[in-house]
Amino acid sequence: MAPSVGIKDVARAAGVSVGTVSNVINRPETVATETRARVQSVIDRLGYVRSESARQLRAGRSRIMGLLVLDMGNPFFVDVARGAERAARAAGLGVMVCNSAQSPGEEAEYLSLFAEQRVRGVLLTPADATGRNIAAFRRHGIPFVLVDRVAEGTTECSVSVDDVAGGALAVRHLVDAGHRSLAYVSGPPGLNQVRDRRTGALDALAEAGLGPDALRELPTERLDVAAGRDAGARLLGLPDADRPTAVFCANDLLALGVLQAMYAAGVNVPDDLAIVGYDDIEFAAAAAVPLTSVRQPAVTMGALAAELLLEETGAQGAPTAHEHRRVVLQPELVVRGSSLPAR
């Protein structure tokens, strides 16, 4: 347990004032070469590390950015984090990644943790549909950017992907392949993404002259693999005549679950059932029947969100003029084996 060495210890050992040591660290050009070298060598010898808390206390704000995601078990969010981290570090900031696990309670806790840390800003994928947490957080005056969700009004920035377009892409592809009876494994109703993707799906059906009856909706409790298996079982339980020939899943985890259920039951994918997922996580391509999926530019989203935040808080210190923006990215369909038209 090294008795932590502070700037004063360095100053004393180098025979200079604390101000000079500080200058060596932060504005080396203002210090005479010789002095600088001497101080630097003392710093190295003593193993001095400056205290972020003291620094922050003086500066009034920290050099970390908070990132609060819905589910760290979902590779999609891992990619978002990767993108955000890259952008933040380019600006010399660290990222503190937290997982609300879709629970408004956890979300609230982490937001106040961020507030206590006087975090520079927050990237947030909201878990609380009521927006109460967000409203409470706004009071702190800490800027934030919504990720994977469109901001209402112009109160803050957001980066999202056009979910309606994504849903349409998926279903148009299936309809083009000849499918007329589809299912939508949707996840928890009430999530915006889930709703928008359905809207897009229905649009695509309408284009083809099909009504909403062509899309059987299968909601699930959660957005994970187990829920997908469950939905697969429900599909298998349908009488043959009634069973859809294609499924669109609100996310790849669900799709993988459905795929697994089909495999276990000996149903051929894609011949007996075509499957399209959403997100295009790495494991989608790696599944033994590679999954057709709607790709979201997750890394880009994270990076873009971080950059918007940096723009707002002023990367270098002085906040620049900033107008809140809502960036909407376009998804892209990646066709793989799970939906290739039956020969």
Residues 273 and 234 sit within 8 Å (Cβ to Cβ): no
Q: For the CB of residue 32, give the shortest distance to DNA in the complex, in Å.
A: 4
Total residues contacting DNA (rule CB under 7 A)? 29
Strand-pairing partners, residue 105, are none
Counting beta carbons within 10 angstroms of the beta carbon of residue 160, is it exposed (0 to 12), middle (13 to 18) or buried (19 or more)? buried
Give which of 171, 185, 196, 264 is closest to 222, Cα–Cα.
185
Please report whether residue 20 would count as binding DNA according to CB under 7 A: yes
Among 26, 30, 51, 154, binds its own copies (CB under 8 A): 51
3-class secondary structure, 292: strand
Please report whether residue 90 would count as binding its own copies according to CB under 8 A: no
Please report whether residue 1 would count as binding DNA according to CB under 7 A: no
Q: What is the DSSP letter of 340?
A: P
Residues 317 and 154 sit within 8 Å (Cβ to Cβ): no
Question: What are the residue ranges of helices labelled H in 60-184?
Answer: 75-90, 104-116, 132-138, 163-176
Please report whether residue 97 would count as binding its own copies according to CB under 8 A: yes
Q: For the CB of residue 287, give the shortest distance to its own copies in the complex, in Å.
A: 6
Please tell me the distance from the alpha carbon of residue 288 to that of residue 283, in angstroms, as a whole number.
10
Give 111 or 281: the residue with its C-beta nearer to DNA: 111
Q: In terms of residues, how long is the chain?
A: 343
Q: Which stretch binds DNA (CB under 7 A): 58-66, 155-163, 247-255, 325-333?
A: 58-66
Among 26, 154, 268, 330, binds DNA (CB under 7 A): 26
Give 60 or 190: the residue with its C-beta nearer to its own copies: 60
Residue carrying structure tokens 């932590």? 4
256's contact among DNA, its own copies, none, with CB below 5 to 8 A by partner kind, is: its own copies
Please report whether residue 72 would count as binding DNA according to CB under 7 A: no
Residues contributing to the site for its own copies (CB under 8 A): 1-2, 4, 47, 49-54, 56-57, 60, 62, 72-73, 75, 78, 81-82, 85, 94, 96-99, 112-113, 115-118, 139-141, 225, 256-257, 259-260, 263, 269, 282-283, 285-290
